[in-house]
Amino acid sequence: MITDENAGTWRELRSYGATVVVLAGGVFVGAVSIYLAASLLPTAVEQIGGGELYAWNMTVFLAGQVIAAMLTATVLRRIGARPAYATGFGVFAAGSVVCALAPAMPLMLAGRGLQGLGAGLLSGLGFALIQASLPSALWSRGTAVISAMFGVGNFVGPAVGGAMAQAGAWRWAFAALAICAVLLGGIAVRVLHPDGVPAQGELRIPVWSLVSVVAATGALSVAGLTESWTVRLALVFAAAVLLIGFVLVESRHTVRVLPVSTYRRGSAMRWVYLTIAVLASAVAVETFLPLFGQRLGQLPPVAAGFYGAALSLGWALTQIGSASARGRAVSVLILAGPAVLTVGLAALTLLFAPNASAVLVLAWLVALLVAGAGIGIAMPHLTARAMSLAESPAEAQQAAAAVATVLTMATATGAAIAVLLVDIGGPELTTAARCLFAGFTIIALLGVGTARLSAGRAPAR
């Protein structure tokens, strides 16, 4: 087990400022692109057509993101840190340019796929290089800054995307993403140490693990797009079987995505990853918050859009403060995270009502911030714990990179579950909202149990 008894400080982290900017910047551009594209696409469809393919933009992006996130550790071992970051920013920039120039929706989908590949690799690298670039005493603080970019990106994306769409400049928004990626790529090449994570041999790809997860993600995404309940249930069942297959394949093969400790008897690492997945999946409720805000709370579109990012904002703000915790406080925060999330989601289940008063609408905002705080207080420590449970520096790097894979898988799975829950509760919006939040309250409650199990010790070597 890798440990460090010395508590790092924010001042010490600032001495690694340029590196942190690169790691956080890669996560940020990927997070921004998700919601920025969602805000821009309705305007884009009016100009280039392809409305029947509209829903596939997110599916294609998420598929690319999952694939690249799963390959992060492999790419790092094969080509090293600098080339890996140059590749990630380059692919993301290329995808953004394709989106900016797309004359029709099929080409837009190709661009979104490239963006997803770049974003997935950048997210994985951001977490993986915490272990290689920072001392272990700074892991929780570095993780807090980097994972906060998901929340900040979810907040900035809708605001910028909405403004650019209203101005009719959706192509320029994608161009701006490309420019940002090129600039950050240049910084990465300059500041990352060439020997930080050197190439270490042949490229070994976990093919069957990759196929299982991508197929499961695709099945869940398509389940959210179809209107047939028979097909939808069949796809959800298929996704469950494929995810079980992923675990079986991973546990029996030498080339895997998750660290080998995940599958060892007595290891707490599996519970760490499951807790991360539970927390991250809850962000999917944001997808429907703008709709609920406008229809049930009579909010204007701009205000409703920001309500959609409130949970992510709570996540981003609280984890910066929680990252300073040490000793017993860390275990308390890990256990409290899913519990606080459960309380926030349960409150939302009870608070949503038609023709809500201003006081009730404000209560929604408070409950969303509380739910986000549950994610924020636990997430940096869960990531640091995954790395500390590793049995070697190489496995610690894989454990860190796997966090991005788990986050991406949880996001895709959560989005599909959210669509299913809203359809179950629909067509009446109040019932749909309550069904959505009740469903994720149950999921969050499961996270309370996995968080308790994550407090176990690493297996003996």
Q: How far is CA 363 from CA 160, 170, 344, 358, 440, in A?
A: 26, 34, 11, 9, 18
- Specify whether the CB–CB gap between 314 and 376 falls below 8 A: yes
| Tokens describing residue 275 | 């807790």
Report the C-alpha gap between 284 and 18 in whole angstroms.
Answer: 32
Indicate the pLDDT class of residue 16, thresholds 50, 70 and 90: confident
- At 4, the amino acid letter reads D
- Specify whether the CB–CB gap between 29 and 184 falls below 8 A: yes
- Specify whether the CB–CB gap between 381 and 387 falls below 8 A: no
**For the chain, how many structural domains are there in total?**
3
pLDDT on residue 364:
92
pLDDT on residue 107:
93
Q: Report the sign of the C-alpha dihedral through residues 337, 339, 342, 348, in that order.
A: negative
Indicate the pLDDT class of residue 197, thresholds 50, 70 and 90: low
CA nearest neighbour of 318 among 375, 381, 362, 365: 375
Do 275 and 230 lie in a common domain? no
Do 236 and 296 lie in a common domain? no
Range of the domain at 231: 207-254
In a domain, 226, yes or no: yes
pLDDT on residue 224:
66
Tell me 319's DSSP state: H
Do 175 and 64 lie in a common domain? yes
In a domain, 4, yes or no: no
Looking at 201, 218, 242, the residue that finishes a domain is 201
Give the 3-state secondary structure of residue 104. Answer: coil
Query: pLDDT tens digits, residue range 299-342?
Result: 776 677 677 778 888 888 888 778 778 778 888 999 999 999 99
Query: pLDDT tens digits, residue range 162-191?
Result: 778 777 788 998 999 999 999 999 998 888
Do 197 and 337 lie in a common domain? no
DSSP 276-340: HHHHHHGGGGGGGHHHHHHHHH---HHHHHHHTTHHHHHHHHHHHHHTT--THHHHHHHHHHHHH
Beta-carbon neighbour count of residue 16 at 10 Å? 17
Report the C-alpha gap between 114 and 36 in whole angstroms.
Answer: 16
Report the C-alpha gap between 305 and 156 in whole angstroms.
Answer: 11
In a domain, 438, yes or no: yes
Do 291 and 170 lie in a common domain? no
| Tokens describing residue 215 | 């197929």
Q: How does 179-204 read in b/e, with b if 16+ C-beta sit within 10 Å?
A: ebbbebbebbeebbeeeebeeeeeee
Do 414 and 317 lie in a common domain? yes
Q: How far is CA 416 from CA 97, 224, 380, in A?
A: 28, 5, 25
Do 135 and 284 lie in a common domain? no
Evaluate if residue 58 carries a pLDDT over 70.
Answer: yes
pLDDT above 90: percentage of residues in the chain: 26
In a domain, 73, yes or no: yes
Mean pLDDT in residue range 155-160: 76
Tokens 């509209």 belong to which residue? 54
Cis peptide bond prior to 290, omega within 30° of 0: no
Indicate the pLDDT class of residue 239, thresholds 50, 70 and 90: confident
Report the C-alpha gap between 6 and 12 in whole angstroms.
Answer: 12
CA nearest neighbour of 455 among 382, 387, 379, 375: 382
For 252, how many CA atoms within 13 A lie in the half-sphere containing its CB?
A: 7
Do 308 and 214 lie in a common domain? no
- Specify whether the CB–CB gap between 46 and 167 falls below 8 A: no
Do 319 and 407 lie in a common domain? yes
Report the C-alpha gap between 339 and 362 in whole angstroms.
Answer: 22
Indicate the pLDDT class of residue 287, thresholds 50, 70 and 90: confident
**CA torsion 295→296→300→303, rounded to 10°?**
-120
Indicate the pLDDT class of residue 6, thresholds 50, 70 and 90: very low
CATH number of the domain enclosing 399: 1.20.1250.20
In a domain, 224, yes or no: yes
In a domain, 183, yes or no: yes
- Specify whether the CB–CB gap between 60 and 116 falls below 8 A: yes
Looking at 201, 224, 243, the residue that finishes a domain is 201
pLDDT on residue 459:
43
In a domain, 461, yes or no: yes
In a domain, 282, yes or no: yes
Looking at 226, 254, 282, the residue that finishes a domain is 254
Do 457 and 340 lie in a common domain? yes
Mean pLDDT of the chain: 83
Tell me 84's DSSP state: H
Do 458 and 426 lie in a common domain? yes
| Tokens describing residue 345 | 């989601």
- Specify whether the CB–CB gap between 268 and 458 falls below 8 A: yes
pLDDT on residue 305:
67
Do 189 and 289 lie in a common domain? no
Residue 203 dihedral angles phi and psi, to the nearest 5°: -85, 115
